[in-house]
Amino acid sequence: MSQIPPEYAQTHKDLQNAIDNPVQVPEDQLIRSLASFTATLASSQSESNLAEEIDRLAGSTLIADAAFDRIRDLFNEMRGGTASPSLKADIDTLRKTWSKHRDTYSDLLWESRTAAGKARAAADDFAKDFATYLSDMSVSVAEKKREISRYQAKLEHDGQTSSSLAQAFLTLKTDINTFQEEWRRIVKKHDLNIMVARIAEIDGEIATLQNTLADLGHKIDSLTSSLNAGAGSSGVLGILGWLSPIYIIGNLLGLIGGSSGASQETLDAAKAEKDDVQRKIARLQEERRLLSANIPTAKMLESGLAKSDADLHDICSRLSSLGTVWGIIRADLQSIKEKLDYVGQTESVQLFQQRLNTAAKLYDVLGKALYRYERAVNLQHPMFASKQRA
């Protein structure tokens, strides 16, 4: 809560209280809520919103690549503008290191596209084939459990090739942070007065607002889980939350509305907060852009590196989730497997079928999101020129 601005603190507190004190939702109400949620996901407006957010993600990855090139050019410009051999040597070292990070980013971005394609196939397989099989009431519970176990083993094997993707993105983030520290050391060493107070202040404000949005999404997701509405879908909800946080927050608010311990006033405040935080981030980013465009080269380097650090942190965090798709399908299957024993006893067949319908639709949504990302990040971009020649 320490990173949540005061004007949003009460909403987050109310959401946490609802999470900590879950209500028992009647089964018929849960079925209706899940059916409504599934219908919303299938709407043309919902699909359009998802497409727009995935396009922004893909666009951000390509913009970040352009930022790598701009910063390299700034290093070149700064090197040419100094007469100090010592500073030139330090800048040369930084420039070479930065070029290596740029190549690593390009390679990882291509790997993320490959991982998205494989993950899409896994998501589609679950949505179109396996969920249908699990819905077949003529198949015994024992046979379904055996098939789930076999499918989980296959998913574990298929996902091994992409399991290192998350760690690779994490390593890149760490390397860029280290680069930032080296840059600051050189700034101090050569006594370059290039710090811009407002830009640093804006970076802090944006980070706080991004954390606020992430915390809001986490609380909405946790509230959904506390209502037992996401059984069989919590994993895919989580990964969609990373890839498309704004999309998933908006849809989950529709799912839990009227079914949770949170008042309508709290849920309305959460929706208003999401919209307000988005607007504030956009306004601050524009202010930062204008400031960065009006400072000398050295100051532009400082602000450019900080901006790249913030953007890459967000991009790397979101794209690292692509390597976890197989794991979250296994986890959702385990949840379904555990529910099988209760079908027809403490849980009705109708609720179980609705859970499967919702899970299948969510994985269908995930498959579409991954396919759109895969198409957006393609060989035609200049960043992948070396891949075209290979």
Low-confidence winner among 164-168, 269-273, 340-344 (lowest mean pLDDT): 340-344
Structure tokens at 174: 């760490």
pLDDT of amino acid 279: 93
Burial class of 100 by CB neighbour count within 10 A (0 to 12, 13 to 18, 19+):
exposed
- Burial pattern 219-246, b for ≥16 Cβ within 10 A else e, equals bbbbbbbbbebbbbbbbbbbbbbbbbbb
Dihedrals phi, psi of 84, to nearest 5 degrees: -80, 115
Half-sphere exposure of 221 (CA within 13 A, CB side): 22
**Nearest alpha carbon to residue 251 among 235, 271, 280:** 271
Region 97-123: mean pLDDT is 87
pLDDT of amino acid 12: 92
**Nearest alpha carbon to residue 321 among 176, 142, 159, 212:** 159
State the DSSP H helix or E strand holding residue 139, giving kind and residue range, or none if neither.
Answer: none
Domain ranges of the chain: 26-383
CB atoms under 10 Å from CB of 209, counted, come to: 21
State the DSSP H helix or E strand holding residue 232, giving kind and residue range, or none if neither.
Answer: none
C-alpha to C-alpha distances, 312 to 72, 206, 253, 301, 361, nearest whole angstrom: 16, 14, 28, 16, 30
The four Cα atoms 331, 373, 367, 315 give a dihedral, to 10 degrees, of: 20
Residue 236 has pLDDT above 60, yes or no: yes
Report if pTM > 0.85. Answer: no
pLDDT of amino acid 85: 79
Confidence category of residue 9, pLDDT binned at 50, 70, 90: very high
Confidence category of residue 244, pLDDT binned at 50, 70, 90: confident
Cα gap 135→146, rounded to integer Å: 15
Amino acid present at 107:
D
**Nearest alpha carbon to residue 196 among 56, 302, 43, 350:** 302
State the DSSP H helix or E strand holding residue 102, giving kind and residue range, or none if neither.
Answer: helix 85-125
Region 172-201: mean pLDDT is 74
pLDDT digits (tens, 9 = 90+) for 313-360: 677 777 777 777 777 888 888 888 888 877 766 668 888 889 889 889
Region 25-29: mean pLDDT is 87
Fold of 26-383: Hemolysin E; Chain: A; (1.20.1170)
Region 148-167: mean pLDDT is 80
pLDDT of amino acid 195: 46
| Mean pLDDT computed over every residue of the chain | 80
